[in-house]
Amino acid sequence: MHAFLASRLLALHERSLSEAVIYRNNGVVEGVTYIGTNVIPSCSSRQALFTMADYLKSRPMKFSSIVGESAVVFPFWELIEREAPSVRLVRQKQPLLSLQTEPLLASDPEVRVARADELEMVIAAGTSMFIGEVGEAPQSNDFRARAIELISMGRTYIRRERDQLLFKADIGAIGAGALQIHGVWVAPEFRGQGIGSHGMASVVRMSKNFAPIASLYVNDFNHAARASYKKVGFIEVGTFTSIFL
């Protein structure tokens, strides 16, 4: 969670359309909420939670999702639900996984950092993954811009055979001494062959230069992915919830 939130906070600048709201009690920070395309609340007290919710309700709600630790997201949503847009989809339980040691599997030697000229292939794979996850296509301009950004920073990893991608994963967030992997995708016809698990082992090893701890979150009903991540060595350390509006 801290990597996810910290990465958004580090990206803020004076001309940013996003913002961070901080709640202090006697000088002690008890709440930090990132407000942008998505809202990421983090609160350690009820007062912080209520104050953050009141602040959000006092302004136009233009965000498309609320993401974070389940223990915070659910009560936060209850406080703003009446004023917020209608819910499209709820991912109630998304285990948060972490790997701080060497992966248990060998790397896939074919996995490498994606190049700029492979953008369209990466976008096609990412779009396929997004539709399978959310049930609709992502906003194309934002999705393309993010794909360009991640490739330019060397944070998209792929396995390619000729003109087809077999595997893709991104380092979506870096902060607080950890990184968060997202956008993990394996071509449907190649699933069940170990490409995803060995590919993830490669990503973990290749991304050590960004942060020593790898993390990700996954839907609880995605048993195949959870089994694959367990083979790599990931362990469950928390629970996320995502509410899409």
Tell whether the torsion through CA atoms of 231, 234, 237 and 241 is positive or negative.
negative
Q: Is residue 235 part of a domain?
A: yes
Q: Does residue 65 fall inside a structural domain?
A: yes
Look at residues 39, 67, 96 and name the one whose alpha carbon lies nearest to residue 241.
67
pLDDT at 136: 81
Residue 168 lies in a domain: yes
Of 238, 240, 244, 222, the closest CA to residue 92 belongs to 240
- Distance between CA 130 and CA 240 in Å, rounded? 18
Q: Are residues 110 and 166 in the same domain?
A: yes
Least Cα distance to 116 among 71, 142, 143, 155 occurs for 155
Domain boundary among 54, 85, 116: 85
Report yes or no: 73 and 41 within 8 Å, Cβ to Cβ: yes
Same-domain status, 123 and 229: yes
Number of domains in the chain: 2
Residues 58 and 114 grouped into a single domain: no
Q: Mark whether 116 and 229 lie in a shared domain.
A: yes
Give the per-residue pLDDT at 2: 67
List C-alpha distances in Å: 49 to 25, 28, 74, 98, 167: 12, 15, 11, 26, 39
* pLDDT recorded at residue 6: 77
40 and 113, same domain (yes or no): no
Could you tell me which of 117, 98, 137, 106 has the C-alpha nearest to residue 216?
A: 98
Q: What is the pLDDT of residue 227?
A: 95
Residue 81 and residue 103 share a domain: no
Query: Could you list the residue range(s) of the whole structural domain that residue 170 is in?
Result: 99-239
Residue 231 is assigned to a structural domain of this protein: yes
- Measured between alpha carbons, how far apart are the two ends of the chain, in Å? 21
Per the structure block, which two tokens stand in for 32?
């930090």
> What b-and-e string marks burial along 131-164, b requiring 16 or more CB atoms within 10 Å of the CB?
eebeeeebeeeeebebbeebbeeebbbbbbeeee
Q: What 3 state SS string does 102-152 have?
A: CCCCCCCCCCEECCHHHHHHHHHHHHHHHHHHHCCCCCHHHHHHHHHHHHH
Residues 165/187, Cβ–Cβ less than 8 Å: yes
- Walk along the chain (245 residues) and give the pLDDT tens digit of each residue: 567 787 777 777 777 778 888 999 999 999 999 998 889 999 999 999 999 999 999 988 888 899 999 999 999 999 999 998 889 889 999 999 999 999 999 999 999 999 999 999 999 999 999 888 877 888 888 899 999 999 999 999 999 999 999 999 999 999 988 999 999 999 999 999 999 999 999 999 999 999 999 999 999 999 999 999 999 999 999 999 999 98
CATH value at residue 212 = 3.40.630.30
Same domain, yes or no: 57 and 115: no
Residue 179 confidence (pLDDT): 95
**Could you tell me how far CA 191 lies from the centroid of its own chain?**
22
**Could you tell me if residue 92 is inside a domain?**
no
Strand ranges inside the chain, DSSP E: 19-25, 28-35, 38-43, 65-69, 89-99, 112-113, 156-161, 164-175, 178-186, 213-217, 235-244
